[in-house]
């Protein structure tokens, strides 16, 4: 065998406009992978709104492919075509007919004839570019083309066997304008060399081709800043492709298949398949656990704000008890049962698995609270036995939870391993959104009241405290925000062990109400939020990853709500007095009591007047001199007297009268005025005034 030395060709230019290459786009989209797909199956998927993103020929007779599809939406919509079986003339004719250019070319031998599987797109508009292709060539032939066409760069390179000889095909594109990239092409180099190129220069594989000796031919590209996150995985089986994509939150950009000891393996390259907000959550939570991570945040009746693997079925453990709760409350709504209806609860347990021994009757309200607040498995089984698993499953379908299945008794480890329950974050979101929008009618509040309501869930209170402090809010303002919040959720956790090791499953999902102020009007953003880690191996980290995902999902929403609570109150002295001065103890904020203090002669009656104007009273302009009414010199009425509070000074001459401020946001920002009158003998005195603004 002739050993080729590494070949390097580079064009050090910087892109002027955004990329149009499928392998560079980072907008999230759904993707699907199939091994051993036939022509009819591929055609059906294309007809259903998908496009071929990457294809490999697995066998020529019968003709079978491994193929990656993406949903053809948004920036992924193109005039594109897939031809599974063309000869050279047919390939030329198809390209000319569609005015297209190739983006993936897979030559193969079928019955002694050279055939092609080809993916092509219309060479028009934003995708227009000078391009060319070769087949039946060698690496030297490719290099000769690049030497002769120095502005070209390789787009796709494949090796194939025809007539017992190894040949290459190559697609080239002119590296100018929007298609200008910094790139390099390497031949017959070890994987470690490519990894070093990435570590040193940030070069990402655009196309990998594994040789029989284990080395690689590769096209590398240097992404413009900010470079997208990308992942590479070497030597996976077909069954490991989709878990890799889900776990690492990437969209497949290159797939290379080959045989190792008769077993097919794949090398994968993927690029981030998340929107920026979801990507930020992923970066915070994903490193904390090796299990599959999922998270979901949606505005009730509105948009999905962030998500990862929201449609992936997972084992929810006790988090699925919310479905049992929903079904029971639905029966209460219909009048089939009441919250006082007695249910049989068995006290027997095998580990955490409830057993049908030792029955006792408890009212439904007790059973539901035990199930939802204390996560009691026996009470969950009581609900299942009383209403029936099939009926509960029917309720799931009624709210649209089509990916949810009750397969085993919750809490039973053996059954959880052999026949796990399943749901998705999207399904749990549908359940909570249905409740929030009236599916339970008058029982909505009872549904929430039987659940665990706490800002400690998933550490959300810590996020509120941190964000509030960062915004410079006072403890009182943060406390007011918390008092207006509502977070109702159900957690679940399994720690299972079998011959393959430990398996950790955790989930938390619920309903969240985030307050925000508009003037003195309190409004709410209603959200469904949750996260899971499926099949992690470390019991000490799965909840950390789940909680971090929820915290980072909610952080922008909590910060936005907290910003509206930056409403300061205060008490400000104004006007002159006749040697009588007041001061305050405490702050004027909702729900607080502020003491208004005064120093006068001992054991003297005092009157605290409160009004809403310092400009006039009963049509009389203010300030109004009190000298004609027998006061000491210089005394005046500084504010209207709309109400009064009476008191007396102590033996040391100090008076304090409390003003209680309602804990009602309708009073937020309210301004009023206060002034003291000391009924001293022989002539009374008045204090300076106080302007009070109620804040948080």
Q: Among the listed ranges 222-231, 473-482, 550-559, 609-618, which one has the minimum average pLDDT value? A: 222-231
Is residue 9 over pLDDT 90? no
Is residue 499 over pLDDT 90? no
Residue 225 to residues 14, 222, 623: CA-CA distances in angstroms? Answer: 10, 9, 66
Contact, 306 vs 275, CB < 8 A?
yes
Average pLDDT over residues 383-389: 97
User: Is residue 371 very low, low, confident or very high in pLDDT (cuts 50, 70, 90)?
Assistant: very high
Buried (b) or exposed (e) across 118-131, using 16+ Cβ within 10 A? Answer: bbbbebeeebebbb
Is residue 12 over pLDDT 50? no
**What fold is seen in the domain 294-563?**
Beta-lactamase (3.40.710)
pLDDT score at 4: 27
Is residue 8 over pLDDT 60? no
Residue 561 to residues 426, 468, 484, 517, 523: CA-CA distances in angstroms? Answer: 25, 10, 11, 8, 10
Is residue 605 over pLDDT 80? yes
Q: Among the listed ranges 102-111, 187-196, 397-406, 567-576, which one has the minimum average pLDDT value? A: 567-576
Q: How many CB atoms within 10 Å of residue 275?
A: 16
Contact, 590 vs 694, CB < 8 A?
yes
Q: Which residues partner with 232 through β-bridges?
A: 269
Cα 223 from Cα 629, distance rounded (Å): 85
pLDDT score at 567: 85
Is residue 13 over pLDDT 70? no
Cα 525 from Cα 465, distance rounded (Å): 19
Q: Mapping DSSP to helix (H, G, I), strand (E, B) and coil, where does residue 496 land?
A: strand
Buried (b) or exposed (e) across 504-538, using 16+ Cβ within 10 A? Answer: bbbbbbbbbbbbbbeeeebeeebbbbbbbbbbbee
Contact, 423 vs 431, CB < 8 A?
no
Burial class (CB in 10 A: 0-12, 13-18, 19+), 456: exposed
Is residue 417 over pLDDT 60? yes
What is the total residue count of the chain?
696
CA nearest neighbour of 669 among 539, 519, 545? 519
pLDDT score at 602: 94
503-520: per-residue pLDDT in tens? 999 999 999 999 998 877
Higher pLDDT, 341 or 12: 341
Q: What is the mean pLDDT of the chain?
A: 92
pLDDT score at 222: 87
pLDDT score at 125: 87
pTM: 0.81
User: Is residue 668 very low, low, confident or very high in pLDDT (cuts 50, 70, 90)?
Assistant: confident
pLDDT score at 431: 98
pLDDT score at 7: 30
Average pLDDT over residues 221-247: 88
Is residue 219 over pLDDT 60? yes
Average pLDDT over residues 49-63: 94
Cα 480 from Cα 564, distance rounded (Å): 11
Cα 435 from Cα 266, distance rounded (Å): 45
In what helix (H) or strand (E) does residue 126 lie, and over which residues does it extend? Answer: none
- Is residue 686 reached through a cis peptide bond, with omega within 30 degrees of 0 on the bond before it? no
Contact, 638 vs 675, CB < 8 A?
yes
User: Can you spell out the DSSP letters for 384-409?
Assistant: HHHH-HHHHHHHHHHTT-TT-B--S-
User: Is residue 198 very low, low, confident or very high in pLDDT (cuts 50, 70, 90)?
Assistant: confident
**How far is it between the farthest Cα atoms of the chain?**
125
Cα 142 from Cα 131, distance rounded (Å): 14
Is residue 14 over pLDDT 80? no
**Helices 377-387 and 364-373 sit at what angle, rounded to 10 degrees?**
130
* Superfamily name with CATH number, domain 570-693: Macroglobulin (MG2) domain (2.60.40.1930)
**Do the domains 294-563 and 570-693 sit in the same CATH topology, yes or no?**
no
Cα 166 from Cα 136, distance rounded (Å): 9
Contact, 636 vs 625, CB < 8 A?
yes
Average pLDDT over residues 99-122: 96
pLDDT score at 228: 86
User: Is residue 20 very low, low, confident or very high in pLDDT (cuts 50, 70, 90)?
Assistant: low
Contact, 52 vs 121, CB < 8 A?
no
Query: Going by C-beta distance under 8 Å and a sequence separation of 6 or more, which residues neighbour residue 440?
Result: 326, 329, 330, 333, 446, 447
Contact, 660 vs 646, CB < 8 A?
no
pLDDT score at 311: 92
Is residue 15 over pLDDT 80? no
Contact, 214 vs 233, CB < 8 A?
no
Average pLDDT over residues 179-186: 92
CA nearest neighbour of 354 among 287, 412, 303? 412
Looking from the CA of 121 toward its CB, the CA atoms found within 13 Å total 19
Contact, 601 vs 676, CB < 8 A?
no
User: Is residue 16 very low, low, confident or very high in pLDDT (cuts 50, 70, 90)?
Assistant: very low
Q: Where are the domains positioned within the chain?
A: 31-223, 294-563, 570-693
Cα 356 from Cα 378, distance rounded (Å): 9
30-42: per-residue pLDDT in tens? 899 999 999 999 9
């Amino acid at each position: 065998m002739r050993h080729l030395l590494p070949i390097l060709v580079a064009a050090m230019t910087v892109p002027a406009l955004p990329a149009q290459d499928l392998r560079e786009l980072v907008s999230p989209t759904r993707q699907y992978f199939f091994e051993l797909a036939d022509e009819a199956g591929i055609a059906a998927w294309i007809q259903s709104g998908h496009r071929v993103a990457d294809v490999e020929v697995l066998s020529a007779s019968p003709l079978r492919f491994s193929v990656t599809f993406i949903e053809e939406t948004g920036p992924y919509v193109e005039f594109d075509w897939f031809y599974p079986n063309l000869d050279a003339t047919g390939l030329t004719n198809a390209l000319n007919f569609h005015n297209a250019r190739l983006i993936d070319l897979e030559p193969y031998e079928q019955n002694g004839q050279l055939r092609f599987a080809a993916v092509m797109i219309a060479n028009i508009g934003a995708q227009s570019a000078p391009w060319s292709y070769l087949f039946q060539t060698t690496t030297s032939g490719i290099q000769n083309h690049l030497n002769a066409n120095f502005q070209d760069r390789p787009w796709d390179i494949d090796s194939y066997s025809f007539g017992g000889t190894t040949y290459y095909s190559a697609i080239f594109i002119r590296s100018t304008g929007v298609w200008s990239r910094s790139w390099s092409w390497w031949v017959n180099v070890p994987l470690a060399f490519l990894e070093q190129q990435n570590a040193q220069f940030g070069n990402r594989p655009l196309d990998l081709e594994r040789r029989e000796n284990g080395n690689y031919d590769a096209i590398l590209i240097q992404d413009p800043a900010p470079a997208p996150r990308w992942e590479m995985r070497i030597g996976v089986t077909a069954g490991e492709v989709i878990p890799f994509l889900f776990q690492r939150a990437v969209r497949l950009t290159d797939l290379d298949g080959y045989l190792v000891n008769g077993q097919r393996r794949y090398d994968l390259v993927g690029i981030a398949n998340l929107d920026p907000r979801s990507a930020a959550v992923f970066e915070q939570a994903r490193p904390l656990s090796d299990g599959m991570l999922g998270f979901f945040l949606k505005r009730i009746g509105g948009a999905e704000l962030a998500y990862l693997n929201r449609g992936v079925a997972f084992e929810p453990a006790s988090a699925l008890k919310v479905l049992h709760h929903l079904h029971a409350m639905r029966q209460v709504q219909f009048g089939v049962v009441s919250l006082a209806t007695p249910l049989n609860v068995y006290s027997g347990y095998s580990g955490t698995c409830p057993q049908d021994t030792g029955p006792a009757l408890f009212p439904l309200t007790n059973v539901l609270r035990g199930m939802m607040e204390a996560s009691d498995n026996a009470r969950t089984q009581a609900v299942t036995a009383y209403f029936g698993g099939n009926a509960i499953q029917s309720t799931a379908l009624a709210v649209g939870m089509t990916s949810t299945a009750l397969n085993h008794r919750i809490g039973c480890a053996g059954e959880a391993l052999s026949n796990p329950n399943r749901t998705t974050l999207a399904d749990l979101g549908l359940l909570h959104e249905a409740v929030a929008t009236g599916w339970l009618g008058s029982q909505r509040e009872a549904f929430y009241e039987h659940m665990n309501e706490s800002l400690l869930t998933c550490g959300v209170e810590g996020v509120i405290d941190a964000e509030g402090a960062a915004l410079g809010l006072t403890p009182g303002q943060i406390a007011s925000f918390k008092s207006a919040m509502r977070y109702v959720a159900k957690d679940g956790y399994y720690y299972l062990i079998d011959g393959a090791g430990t398996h950790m499953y955790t989930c938390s999902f619920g309903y969240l109400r985030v307050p925000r102020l508009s003037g003195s009007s309190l409004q709410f953003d209603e959200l469904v939020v949750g996260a899971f880690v499926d099949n992690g191996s470390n019991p000490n980290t799965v909840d950390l990853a789940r909680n971090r995902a929820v915290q980072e999902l909610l952080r922008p929403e909590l910060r936005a709500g907290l910003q509206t609570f930056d409403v300061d109150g205060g008490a400000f002295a104004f006007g002159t007095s006749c040697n009588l001065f007041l001061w305050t103890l405490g702050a004027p904020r909702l729900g607080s009591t502020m003491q208004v203090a005064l120093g006068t002669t001992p054991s003297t009656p005092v009157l605290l007047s409160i009004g809403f104007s310092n400009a006039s009273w009963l049509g009389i302009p203010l300030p109004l001199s009190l000298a004609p009414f027998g006061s000491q010199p210089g005394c005046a009425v500084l504010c209207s007297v709309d109400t009064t509070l009476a008191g007396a000074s102590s033996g040391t001459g100090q008076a304090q009268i409390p003003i209680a401020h309602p804990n009602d946001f309708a009073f937020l920002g309210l301004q009023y005025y206060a002034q003291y009158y000391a009924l001293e003998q022989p002539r009374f005195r008045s204090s300076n005034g106080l302007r009070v603004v109620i804040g948080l």
